[in-house]
Amino acid sequence: MLWYLGRRLLQVIPVFLGATLLLYAMVFLRPGDPVAALGGERGLPEAVQEQIRAEYNLDKPFIVQYLLFLRGVVTLDFGVDFRGREITEVIANAFPVTIQLALMALAIEAIFGVGFGLFAGMRKGGIFDGSALVVSLFFIAVPTFVVGFVMQIVVGVRLGWLPVAVGRDPDFISLLMPAMVLAAVSFAYVLRLTRTSVAENLSADYVRTARARGLRRSQVTGRHVLRNSLIPVVTFLGADIGALMSGAIITEGIFNINGVGGTLYDAIIRGESVTVVSLTTVLVLVYIGANLLVDLLYAALDPRIRYA
């Protein structure tokens, strides 16, 4: 087990190097000159541009720039962005709200997806099952921003139940609606996955045998159907943590949240390679961590899986 964990952690190094190199190259190859664009319509004097380039090491060859970035990673000093803010500070500002949003969305999709999915799967072919399938198909088909705007108008403006947008200080209540919007698509997938899994497990031999030894229906459902059905669902949820964090760009835009999405979008527009790569690298690390967590959870749920 420890051996497995060690090996998995060692794998982070090549993934990190490969990902950052690719990202750095992509931002470097992006058309346009970010420094020239800083001056706006009138432009900056040539000498000033030269000075800025030298300050941000943009006059050096690609590989040198990349190695300087790596040094920044090791020393935890990424430098400053074009507006003079420390990049570490930018990261520290952007991530907490996005993490909170993603975890709320994860909780929503897990609780409601598994709950409704279990109910639908137990009565496969029933009215609830049919409606759940239609509703989940709807969430999968309709784009996130449509769901977002409709909810803003209905729940936020007409009914006035929840704040329409998140301000400078995000709290639980104001993040509730964005979290629901962010969770919508994954909720539909979790529901369908749970439903199929439950329906399949219901007809498993060991479920029948459990009933034959006198267990009540509720005991059979909780102990034998649900736990076995959760195995594929947990895999999906784990992989979704990463997707929720990076996928929040649209949702953050709609609800005016200053999270990773917005910050990343601005940095890409301005061509700040170091900011873009730093933010994305953190996301890559989140993905790797989530995957590792899934694999460990998987082993906890299913004793047949042992890592060596």
Partner 1 sequence: MTTQFPVTNEGADGTAGPAPFDPSKPLLEIRDLEISFTTGVGEVQAVRGADLTVYPGQSVAIVGESGSGKSTTAAAIIDLLPGTGKVTGGSIRFEGRDLVTASRAEKEALRGRAIGLVPQDPMSNLNPVWRIGTQVEEALKANGFKGSKAALRERVAEVLAEAGLPDATRRARQYPHEFSGGMRQRALIGIGLASRPQLLIADEPTSALDVTVQRQILDHLEDMTRDLGTALLFITHDLGLAAERAEHLLVMFKGKVVESGPAREILADPQHPYTQRLVASAPSLASRRIQTAHVHGEASAELHAHHVGEAPVAAGPATVVEAKNLTKVFQIRGPRPGSSADFTAVDDVSFTLGRGRTLAIVGESGSGKSTAANMVLGLLDPTSGSVEFDGVDVAALNPKEAFAFRRRVQPVFQNPYGSLDPMFSIFRSIEEPLKLHGVGSPKEREARVRELLDMVSLPQSAMRRFPNELSGGQRQRIAIARALALKPEVVVLDEVVSALDVLVQAQILELLDDLQTELGLSYLFITHDLAVVRQIADDVVVMQSGKVVEQASTDEVFDTPREQYTRDLLAAIPGARLEGDALAG
Chain residues in the site for partner 1 (CB under 8 A): 3-4, 203-217, 219, 223-224, 227-228, 231, 301-304, 308
* Residue 75 or 218 with smaller CB distance to partner 1: 218
CB of 207 to partner 1, least distance (A): 8
CB of 198 to partner 1, least distance (A): 14
At residue 166, what are phi and psi to the nearest 5 degrees? -95, 140
Residue (of 242, 294, 286) closest to 102 by Cα position: 242
Residue (of 80, 60, 58, 67) closest to 21 by Cα position: 67
* Residue 83 or 217 with smaller CB distance to partner 1: 217
d(CA 56, CA 281): 20
DSSP H helices in 123-171: 127-141, 144-151
CB of 121 to partner 1, least distance (A): 15
- Rounded to whole angstroms, what are the CA distances from 7 to 35, 208, 235? 42, 41, 20
Find all residues with CB under 8 Å of 176, minimum gap 6, and list them.
104, 162
Work out whether the CA dihedral 269, 275, 278, 279 comes out positive or negative.
negative
CB of 7 to partner 1, least distance (A): 8
* Residue 236 or 265 with smaller CB distance to partner 1: 236
CB of 204 to partner 1, least distance (A): 7
* Residue 179 or 207 with smaller CB distance to partner 1: 207
* Residue 86 or 302 with smaller CB distance to partner 1: 302
Find all residues with CB under 8 Å of 140, minimum gap 6, and list them.
185, 188, 189
* Residue 2 or 159 with smaller CB distance to partner 1: 2
CB of 192 to partner 1, least distance (A): 22
Find all residues with CB under 8 Å of 27, minimum gap 6, and list them.
268, 271, 273, 276, 277
Find tokens 């000159």 and name the residue: 33
